[in-house]
Structures are given as structure tokens and as C-alpha cells.
Chain A
Amino acid sequence: NAGVTQTPKFQVLKTGQSMTLQCAQDMNHEYMSWYRQDPGMGLRLIHYSVGAGITDQGEVPNGYNVSRSTTEDFPLRLLSAAPSQTSVYFCASSYGQAESDTQYFGPGTRLTVL
């Protein structure tokens, strides 16, 4: 199993550009989520999905869109990048149902918006 994969690893954007961060998992997990990590603030939840076709907002959803057309993939879209979106982005997944479940994290995407 590859686990949770994210592409790209690094990205530099100019203000106003759009891009999609890709996330895929091969563990047949129903629950997937996106976090951003900023210094001194831990990880904050952007959006999450409990299954294909179902998404919801987390703590910091503004400026980001998501969709979940398949169980495996959960892309994060920045429609018009802003410098405040400079961050490290992590995708995570879990079965999302049992008490003993664990979220598994991808390696992250480091995004810089100029």
C-alpha cells in the first residue's frame, strides 16, 4: 500500500493564481480531510469528507474548495491564491467509523504564494 500520497511536494504561486493540490489514498478509507500547518498554530482543519459525494467545512475553509467524486481522491482547490495561504498542507484519511480508528497523514505540500 502507498498509503496517503500528495502532489506536488512543493509549489510556488503568484497572488491570484489557481491550483489544485492532489491527495489520494489506497486504503479504502471513507473519511478524508485537509489540514494546513502554520508555525505556532498546529494543524487546522480546512475541509473534510465522510464519503464519496459528501464534503463539509472545517475550521478554516475560506478560499478553498473540495470535491469527492471517488473514495480514493480528495483534491483541494485554491481558486485565487493569496499570500495568507502560504502554508504546509496535509491530507489525511481514516475509516472514520470505529472507536479505534486512526488518521493517517500524507507527506505534505509546501505552498508559497508571492
Chain B
Amino acid sequence: AQSVTQPDIHITVSEGASLELRCNYSYGATPYLFWYVQSPGQGLQLLLKYFSGDTLVQGIKGFEAEFKRSQSSFNLRKPSVHWSDAAEYFCAVGGKGAQKLVFGQGTRLTINP
């Protein structure tokens, strides 16, 4: 069965520190992987996606993610976080055409000033 695991429910980092959010997936076919961000009371905004090619993908707001097929992982990174990055982050996997996305439980990011 398809599933996504985000092992960290809540992460706190200091402003300016580096960030890595973990995502592991299980998917029976070619995975199409996504990271979304959700600010409180808002909808979901796409940060980045992987569908083929270079396994290191760049996204908006300075985020990047690396697809590691051997580890079934798609971890999200940012070299230096800003207070405005405080939000909830969701990893998702789906089929071609971004169909039938399966989401992880989410990781809530808090930024210390």
C-alpha cells in the first residue's frame, strides 16, 4: 500500500540555522513526489516536486529536496531558515499527473528568534 511517513511531528530551529525535514515513502510504481507548505488557516502551496531527472530539485523560497530511490526518501532542506518559514510542511507521493496523492502526517516547524 502507498504511504508517506514524516517521522518528525514538530521541529524547532533557530532563525538562520539549517533545516532538514524527513520524508519516507512506500509506493508500488514510479513515484511522483511533492512538498507542500501550509500556513495557519491557509491552503497548501507547492514548494517543489520531483518527477524525473536530476535527483536534487530546487523549489521556491530557497528550499531544495533530494530524491534517494535506494532509501525511499525525499528529504526537504533549507540552508538558512527565516521566521516566515514557520508553517506546517507536508510530503506527498502520487502517480503520473499528480493523481491520487498520499500525504504524510505533516511536520510543524517553529522558528526561534
Contact = CB atoms under 8 A, between A and B. Distances in A.
Interface in A26-44: 31, 33, 35, 40-44
Interface of B: 4, 9, 32, 34, 36, 42-46, 49, 51-52, 90, 92, 94, 96-106
Main SS at interface, chain B: strand
A52 interface: no
A101 B97 contact: yes
A90 B43 contact: yes
Contact of B9 (A40, A100, A101): A40
A112 B37 CA distance: 24
A58 interface: yes
B105 A41 contact: yes
Interface in A17-69: 31, 33, 35, 40-45, 48, 50, 58-59
A102 B43 contact: no
Return the 10 tightest CB-CB contacts between A and B, nearest first.
A42-B103, A96-B97, A105-B44, A43-B103, A101-B98, A99-B51, A103-B98, A94-B98, A107-B43, A101-B97
Contact of A102 (B49, B100, B102): B49
Interface of A: 31, 33, 35, 40-45, 48, 50, 58-59, 90, 92, 94-108
Contact of B96 (A40, A41, A99, A106): A99
Given A40-B9, A43-B90, A96-B98, A102 B52 contact: no
Nearest to A38: B105
A50 B98 CA distance: 11
Main SS at interface, chain A: loop
Given A40-B106, A44-B103, A107-B42, 20 more contacts: A31-B99, A42-B103, A42-B106, A43-B103, A45-B102, A59-B102, A90-B43, A96-B97, A96-B98, A96-B99, A98-B97, A99-B32, A101-B97, A103-B94, A103-B101, A104-B46, A105-B43, A107-B43, A108-B42, A108-B43
A60 B103 CA distance: 13
Given A43-B90, A99-B51, A108-B43, A58 B100 contact: yes
A48 B98 CA distance: 12
